[in-house]
């Protein structure tokens, strides 16, 4: 199964989070993701102005494990597996203080923080989007209770670590996790309050005191530990808060990242084809040389002219043959192949390729989803859309993945960050003046926003299942305006 989520990360970057759910009993799990980008022609994006090199410069990929799924209730109640793993790691380090035990402490702290971060986000999303108005208040109160239990238990586990100087690094790892969890609780709590204030005023008033009380408790805890917190009218301190928040987020995520070794796909076949091209051109030059030598003899003017012409043509023949082979190979091979590994063991690979294509190479299902309006079709007679096809072929070894993780990991995420700055260069000003009548004799000027649409069509293949997704990216000269799922 393939899952995809699209969101704007900031003003200039759109994030595509593609999840590949694997069968961990199978060594070979194959997936195909084809992406068609429909770009307005007047943005000046075409094969001449936007090369493969520029495309891959604008795309940044992060490959990571899916976070194990636990709810806040599961973590708060009962003997949750993440807490058990934490306790075992802490006790093992307390008894040995060996380097391997220290690494296990670091790993378990990072994994626990990732699991809680995911549980917090899904818990808040459930209250915001899935719960009925009657359920929201109870779920919001339960949210606060569960979070307090999780934080209290995590902090108590820290007492298992020795107080000696030799255990300072282990205590630091626990403290980094504590601070990261506290930051994340504060962020998600305010996110919950913002949603309730806009969608359910009654529920907001009912739970505001409890949720804000949780935030105040965490702020007081961080101050008591000497950790930096945000303050009004203190730009230097707030800058430090943002920097430290980012560093803690990176610290708690690195264990999920997989090693990615990217290289050009089909290098051996390409070099072999180049050798064949050179051989064909050399055969041509040699035949011309032999024929003229036999007919006119050695050291004659006709032979000299023939040799010069044959060598001139030899280079052209070699280039034309190389060009032919490259385009033939492009149908079989991709641009790049990324080998994915963890702990030194290969768990799969991802191939990617990008090309500009024409309308007649777009599948009927995709063309139908694009659904061009009559006005757009009329304009396309003169200003046709440019179509970029981005292909991905993915293979994951489920058994290898299963053998390298303790938790029940469902698969991997390939997170693509696409920078749209290249698409903004030829856009016009975002603000467009519009005039409206006021009364019977007056009028006023207002402003509308000029936007451009880029359509993303995804074809997702997993085994015999084929699914299609359609997203529309809304851009202006100022950057990303929004992302819509159609």
Structure confidence by residue, pLDDT tens digits, 79-111: 888 999 999 999 999 888 788 889 889 999 999
For 130, 430, 434, 478, the CA distances from 445, given in Å and listed in that order, are 42, 15, 6, 21
- Let me know: does 89 contact 173? Beta carbons within 8 Å: no
Residues 113 and 138 placed together within one structural domain of the fold: yes
Region 230-239: mean pLDDT is: 87
Residue 206 and residue 79 in one domain: yes
Domain boundary among 214, 232, 257: 257
Label residue 323 by pLDDT band (50, 70, 90): low
At residue 378 the predicted structure's pLDDT band, cuts being 50, 70 and 90, is: very low
Higher pLDDT, 20 or 300: 20
Sequence-distant (≥ 6) Cβ neighbours of residue 218 within 8 angstroms: 151, 182, 185, 186
> In terms of domains, do 100 and 137 share one?
yes
Helices (H), 225-363: 235-251, 267-296, 301-330
- Same domain for 454 and 397, yes or no, is yes
Judgement on whether residues 124 and 181 belong to the same structural domain of the protein: yes
Would you say residue 379 has pLDDT above 60?
Answer: no
Burial class (CB in 10 A: 0-12, 13-18, 19+), 165: exposed
Structure tokens at 254: 């690195």
Q: Which helix (H) or strand (E) holds 466?
A: strand 465-476
Mean pLDDT of 203-213: 88
Same domain for 83 and 137, yes or no, is: yes
Flag whether pLDDT at 327 surpasses 90: no
The pLDDT of residue 149 is 93
Average the pLDDT over 138-148 and give the result: 91
Contact indicator for 194, 128 with CB cutoff of 8 Å: no
What's the half-sphere exposure (Cβ side, CA atoms, 13 Å) at 463? 10
Q: Coil, strand or helix: which one is 409?
A: coil
CA distances, 466 to each of 31, 32, 251, 369, 476 (Å): 10, 9, 37, 15, 33
Q: Last residue of some domain: 211, 236, 257? A: 257
For the chain, the average pLDDT equals 85
- Position of tokens 């891959």? 56
Q: Provide the domain count of the chain.
A: 3
The Cα–Cα gap between 347 and 398 comes to 8
- Mean of pLDDT values over 434-461: 89
What pLDDT does 284 receive? 66
Q: Which domain holds residue 144?
A: 72-257
250 and 271 assigned to the same domain? no
Same domain, 324 and 338: no
Nearest to 63 by CA among 353, 335, 340: 340
Helix (H), strand (E) at residue 100: helix 99-125
Sorted by sequence, the CB contacts under 8 Å of residue 39 that are 6+ apart come out as: 45, 385, 386, 387, 388, 423, 454
Residues 167 and 219 grouped into a single domain: yes
Predicted confidence (pLDDT) per residue in 448-459, tens digit: 889 999 999 999
Residues 103 and 227 in one domain: yes
| Residue 292: predicted pLDDT | 64
- 358 and 226, same domain (yes or no): no
pLDDT value at position 137? Answer: 85
Answer yes or no: is pLDDT of 78 > 80: no
Q: Which helix (H) or strand (E) holds 480?
A: strand 479-485
Q: CA-to-CA distance for 386 and 356, rounded, in angstroms?
A: 7
Asked if pLDDT for residue 264 goes beyond 80, the answer is no
Claim to verify: residue 147 and residue 193 sit in the same structural domain: yes
Q: What is the pLDDT of residue 404?
A: 81
Mean pLDDT across 167-179: 91
For 403-412, how does the pLDDT look when each residue is reduced to its tens digit (9 = 90+)?
A: 888 888 888 9
Mean pLDDT calculated for residue range 177-188: 94
Query: What is the C-alpha to C-alpha distance for residues 55 and 8, in angstroms, rounded to an integer?
Result: 18
Give yes or no for a contact between 347 and 411, defined as CB atoms under 8 angstroms apart. Answer: no
Inter-residue contact 338 to 260 (CB < 8 Å) = yes
């Amino acid at each position: 199964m393939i899952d995809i989520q699209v969101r704007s990360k900031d003003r200039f970057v759109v994030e595509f989070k593609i999840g590949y759910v694997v069968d961990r009993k199978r060594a070979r799990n194959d997936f195909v993701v084809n992406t068609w980008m429909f770009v307005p022609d007047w943005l000046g994006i075409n094969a001449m102005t936007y090369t493969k090199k520029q495309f891959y410069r604008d795309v940044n990929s992060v490959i990571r494990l899916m976070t194990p799924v636990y709810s806040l209730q599961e973590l708060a109640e009962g003997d949750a597996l993440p807490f058990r793993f934490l306790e075992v790691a802490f006790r093992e380090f307390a008894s040995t203080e060996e380097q391997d035990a220290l690494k296990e402490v670091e790993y378990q702290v990072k994994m626990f923080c990732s699991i809680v971060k995911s549980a917090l986000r899904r818990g808040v999303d459930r209250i915001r989007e899935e719960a009925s108005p009657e359920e929201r208040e109870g779920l919001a109160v339960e949210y606060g209770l569960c979070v307090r239990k999780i934080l209290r238990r995590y902090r108590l586990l820290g007492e298992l670590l020795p107080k000696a100087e030799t255990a300072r690094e282990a205590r630091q790892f626990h403290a980094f996790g504590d601070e990261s969890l506290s930051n994340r609780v504060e962020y998600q709590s305010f996110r919950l309050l913002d949603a309730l204030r806009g969608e359910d005023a009654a529920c907001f008033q009912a739970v505001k005191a409890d949720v804000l009380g949780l935030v105040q408790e965490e702020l007081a805890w961080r101050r008591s530990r000497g950790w930096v917190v945000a303050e009004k009218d203190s730009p230097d301190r707030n800058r430090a808060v943002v920097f430290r928040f980012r560093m803690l987020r990176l610290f708690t995520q690195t264990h999920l990242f997989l090693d990615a070794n990217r290289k050009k796909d089909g290098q051996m076949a390409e070099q072999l084809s180049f050798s064949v091209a050179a051989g064909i051109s050399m055969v041509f030059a040699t035949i011309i040389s032999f024929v003229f030598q036999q007919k006119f003899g050695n050291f004659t003017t006709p032979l000299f002219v023939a040799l010069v012409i044959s060598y001139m043509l030899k280079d052209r023949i070699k280039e034309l043959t190389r060009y032919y082979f490259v385009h033939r190979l492009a149908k079989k091979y991709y641009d790049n192949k990324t080998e994915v590994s963890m702990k030194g063991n290969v768990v799969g690979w991802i191939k990617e390729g990008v090309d500009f294509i024409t309308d007649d190479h777009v599948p009927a299902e995709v063309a139908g989803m694009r659904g061009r309006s009559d006005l757009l079709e009329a304009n396309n007679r003169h200003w046709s859309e440019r179509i970029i096809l981005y292909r991905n072929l993915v293979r994951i070894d489920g058994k290898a993945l299963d053998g390298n993780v303790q938790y029940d990991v469902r698969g991997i995420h390939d997170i693509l960050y696409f920078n749209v700055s290249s698409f903004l260069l030829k856009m016009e000003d975002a603000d467009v003046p519009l005039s409206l009548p006021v009364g019977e004799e007056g009028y006023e000027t207002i402003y509308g926003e000029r936007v451009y649409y880029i359509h993303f069509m995804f074809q997702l293949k997993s085994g015999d299942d084929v699914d299609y997704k359609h997203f529309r990216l809304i851009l202006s000269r100022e950057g990303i305006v929004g992302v819509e799922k159609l």
